[in-house]
Structures are given as structure tokens and as C-alpha cells.
A and B are shown apart, each in its own frame.
Chain A
């Protein structure tokens, strides 16, 4: 849908401001009630999802133009979807989709964020979002005895994603995930140097063409490799492969799982045994792209009509994605199976989770905002008594590590794979 197709939504945004908070029914602590990092940081109503509806409507009415302020408001947003979930508790509107379409429009019209341009330039040249050399990709797996899917086939492809590929500090988790699969006897391979970006982040920045290109490339690559299942330790990649490709009608055609789903399966099947105690109090951070944004896409085409006089309904009935269908329990089940580990929950969890801060291009263009957002999450983790914050996405881990450095908060940062590794003999 184009951005103008959300006119109904723009008109019906009532300014109830639910987009600014997590749903009240899930509020537990008044220090941690807010849901939207953008609004929390920048205060102007424009930074909330409702503000984007307002901006879009004003643009439609030619009352405003896309200028620097417009871009600043639109792009200082992690596209984390908290607003979307909260809005949909009370409304049948699509704030996140509208914001996505606005970004696509901006890119199409040539309104570009310079920092994003650099990243996309790198993507186009080197097939990654990290401004790194393609030839360096795959180095993370050096020394691991694993199938190279450019040369042989396997049941499962382990796709680490751009962040894991080039962020050396995070390699242990990337390697650890693969090793766990190998040790469990999974028939798994990697694309190594030939692994390419999923295109998901580029799409979030508004670059529609990029995701189409990579979706087609990945589909062909995996078809050639003969894999049946894709497993990724990166939540962004997970959402791209599982949800976004479906959204743009480029379904991957194979099973897509996050590493936590796979490990959970292995543990429950007895193929992965966690026997060593890991005495630690941890809290689990739900990555946006594994949680609310990882909810399967729902295609709908139809029309709006009215019943009972004026109630607005759809034909066929329209199901909205309200976040409950994301991946929330497998990571928790894993943590609960680790002996000696105590899991405490933060106040904003699951589809009402506070974003780590990295998404939507913010980590590239507005790193101080990204770090601030992450630091807010660390405060919450400390508030519930956690010694460590555990996530399941390299972007989350990177941003939390940066936030620890910046804020001086005394808390460990782990990827869930690392804790599983600690628990394995």
C-alpha cells in the first residue's frame, strides 16, 4: 500500500496518545510506563506515532513539505513498533505501516539521510549494512568445521547476518550458536563469504528496491543450496526472512527459525543437554524483531463497509497484527532450563518491550539516541534486580554494550546463546 492509502487511518487517529505508552493493562511500575523511545526522548508530539499520522495527513493536504524537520522526526525512530501494538489495543489502525510507507516515499523522492546513504552505498557495493568489505565476510566462522553451502548442501542454513559477520566483539555468540547446532548433530551449513544481507534493515530505512533484490537473491541461493530450514541468531534477519519477504510477496519458501526456537526444540527433544549450573540473576530483553515485529505477516485485500449504522468493518474480515504472535516463550523456556539461572522479568516485556535502541537506522544516523534508548533499558534491568541482561539479537547486544560503556551502568550483557554455552558440558 502507498502512504496515501492510509488516509482512513490518518483521519481516524484521535490523539488518544496510547502510542506513547505501553498498554495500561500491562503497566506495572510508573518509572517504566512509556513505550515510545522517540517521544520519551524528544517530547514533541510529532515524535509519537500519532504525530506521524498527523504529519502524513498534513502532507496529503499540502499543508507541509518534506523538509529537514520532517525527516528528523520520521527517522529518529527505531521503527520498533511499540506504538503500533499500543494503538491497536484501542484502534484498528496501522501506524507502523504508515511510517514505513512514509520512509519509502522519502527515499523515492530523494529525501535521504546522509548517514543512511553511506550505509546503503556500502550495501550496494559490498552486500552488507556494516560498511565492511564483502571479502571479509565469513571470517567469524574461521576454524569451525562446518559445511560450506556454496559447495555442499545441508538441511539447515545458519545465517548470521551483517552485524554478527563484521562485529568481532560479538563473534563468540555467532560461533557459539553454530557450535551448539553442530554438537547437537544438526545437518547445518553456512554461506560463509557468500552470505549476503537479508535487506531487512535497508527496507526499514525506506529502500524498497534493496529488500526486493535481496529477497530474490536469497530465495535463489537457498534453493540452489537445497536447504529446508533457515536458522538465524539475528532477530532483524529473522523478521526480514519470515515477515518482510512474505509482506512483499517474496516468501522464502523454506522454514525460518530464530536460533532460540531451534535450541528450544533441541532441548525439549533431549538433543541438547544443559547440565552445568550458571548461577546468575538475569533478565530477558525481547528483541523487537523477534517479538512484536516477528509476528507472521497477514495479507488482506478487501473493502471497508458499515454495519449497525456506522460501525466500520471489513469484507473479508481484516485481522490486525497486534503482536501476540511473536517469539516470546522459547527464549524464556531456554533460560528456565539452565540450572542455577534465575530469570526475573522486566516491567515491559514481550510485545510491550522497550526497544534496545538500535533499529530503524537510528544506530547509524543518531547514535546518541540509540545509546540513550539502550541505557533506559539497562536502568529497567537493574530495577528488577538483574545482574545481566540477555537478548537474542546482535544489534541489541551491541547497543547494550555501548550503553554500558556510555552510562557506566554495572550490568553484564549476554546473548542467550552464550548462556546456553555456559550451561553445556
Chain B
């Protein structure tokens, strides 16, 4: 295999090496250093992925798997070393199977939310989605990144909605996780109603946990089964405005405890404005109209009594809000709940919502508990001032995860890339350092903050490196990412 070139393995038309294309993959909007790949390969199936990995092992070629289309934001899909080959999985676009009874979908890595969601809807299902992902975002990419979904009551585990997966490890071995493992092909498994639904194992290892959050350093996933939700036949939504975040935090704990309701999260006024507005001018108008903080809650009606489900959930939520002295509403100055709800079952319309305000943005996010978010917000604003970055340009998104036992706390730094990059870059660096020092758990260590993330994780780092040696002994998968 070593003497073959990628083109001989997957066909030369699926190998891209034009300079302008290489430039596109050399960098993204993060501040990761620009490193040009040697080429981009675009396999069509798992066999080709495996062949490429085997070739990479033999030739010592670093591989960088990418499943989502551009633009990329976090630095994880930019080569970490010279001479890398990008493995662009966007050709693998099959929606292999949708199972409306067991509420799951089996997809290849190139499938985007925009492609999957309409197909799911035909079967009465809906994808668990992150907040308004960009159009080219790969479903598997998002899930493997452990991006939080907007429905915490259904988020039992950090890997949700991932069920099973087929992966080619860095060693070149193909493997199917969980219930997907076995002597049969998946088609043969379907004959006996094995539907690749149970994620555990097999046996004493939860293999799917080793590929989720790994930024492609352990293996390349060639398909995955994903939990889906029922498509609501009735949906209600409410917005809860507040000048301060603390009352909203007090409120949000209540439905979370009882797993009540559907989509549930908090945004500051800026972020809600960016979601709803289509231009900088519109966004600015909305900023002026919207309250400082807004909690969004939806109540999804499906099953045998959909109206009743949505109705009682909404009524109970209103009672909870009342006990906190808050008033949920279907509309607030600047926003209607149903307009927000409409954005949540599909990718962000173009342009991507985070680019509308100032074109540029950087995300800083980590995990914490809801009760600590006010402290982190204050700290971030203070850091912004120190970095001479206007705090008013920071969007905040609080997403409860794992049924409310923690939350994804995200700061979106909006800036004009032509003049404000330095301040943004400084704030990303200093801010993440500060927040990590306060106990913010940077569980997804993208290049911008991986040093902070691993500073207090020496034990984890040591074991991860040993695991890496097992599954990718030659270290060819995405070197330079995580702690590798």
C-alpha cells in the first residue's frame, strides 16, 4: 500500500491538491496557525477510508478527518503538522436507514442537518440539534464533538444522541461499537431486528466514548446511528425575559429537575438578536428592544395525546415561573417565541447567525453548573474590559446538558476581523485561562484553549496518550490535537 498514492486508492478525481483548495483547508476562522495540507482525499465509503488509513500508517502520513463543510471555526480540522492529508468525508452522504419505530437514524458522516431533517420529518421524527448549526454542519461531526443539543430533558448522557458507530481506528482496524458489533452485516442484523440502538460495549469498554470528543484522533467514523425525537404535531413556546440572569437560573432548575418540557436554554439579548436578525442593522435594533436575558422554553406535543402534553407542560412551566416572580410570554419586545422555535428544527439560514453581526466571531465554551454561570459571566465581562474588548459584543448562551446536572456555558465574541482580531484573540486566550482557573471545565479542548484544559488534567492526559498508542499506534490521526 505504501507505494500507492491516494489517487490510486480512491480515484484521482477524489484527490484535491490545487493550491487554492489547499489554502481553504489550511486554516479556519480560529486563530490556529495556518498549515497547508498536502492534499485532500474524499473517500466514498468505509472501505476507502480503511484503505487510506492503512496507507497513512505505512507512509507515516498524518490524516485530518473533516466531515462538515466549510466554514470551520474551532481549529480541530486544520492540520496540526506539516504534510497532513485532509480526509474529507463529505462524499459519504447516505442516510442509510431511518427507523421510525425505534426512533433512530443511521447516517454517514457527510450528512448535514439540512439534509437529514426533512427525511426524518417524512417518518415523523426530528433530529436532536444543537442551537442553529451552520448549513454545512455534519450531523456526525456535531455529535462526535459532543455539541450540546437544545433539549436537555432528553440528554441523558454526554454522548447523546450517539448510539452506535462504525469506526476505522488509526490502526486501520474496522470496528462497530455497541450493539452494532457482531458476525453479521448491518443488513443481516436488521433481519433479526438488531437495529444498532444500544450503545453499550460490547463487553467491558464503551468504545463510543473513545471516539466522541476525540477530534478524530482515535478513529474515523464511517456511519453512526443517532437517537431521534418524535416530530411534534403540536408545539408551544414561551420566552421569559429578565434584566438579570440569576432569576432565570433559579427558574431553569425547576423544569430540569422533573425533565419537563422540550427545548430549554438561556440567551443574552445580543445572541437572541443575532439569531433573529438578518443584518447588522436589524440586529442592533433588536439589541435595543430585547431584554438583557431571555429564557426560551418549548413544549412539544407528540404521542397519543399531543395537545394535552404540550398544554400541561406549558401550564406547569408557567406556574414554576410564577413562583420565581417571572412572567413567561409568547412575545416580548423584539421577539416572538414561535419565531425562535422555528429556528430550532433546522440549520441556521445563511448567513450563519453568528456571522451576521460583525462577520467575525470566536466561541469560548466550557462546562459548569448552572448556579455558577453568573460568576463566569461577570468574570468574562471583566476580562473583556482588561483586553479592551467591548463586553457588549459578547453573546452568551447557557445550555443545560445531561438533564441539568451541568450546563454548556458559551461566550460568542463578535468582532470585525479587519480591525478587532487582536482584542478578540487576546480575550479568547486570557478569558479561557481565567475561566479554567475558576473551575470552568473545558471538556472539548480545541486548540485555542487546550493548554488550559489539560493543565489540570495530567492524569487524564497520561492515560489518553496510552489509549492513543493502542488505537493509533503510529499517531497518524490528527496529530497536534487534544494532548497528542
A and B touch in the complex (CB under 8 A): no
Q: What is the interface of chain A, defined by CB distance below 8 A to chain B?
A: none
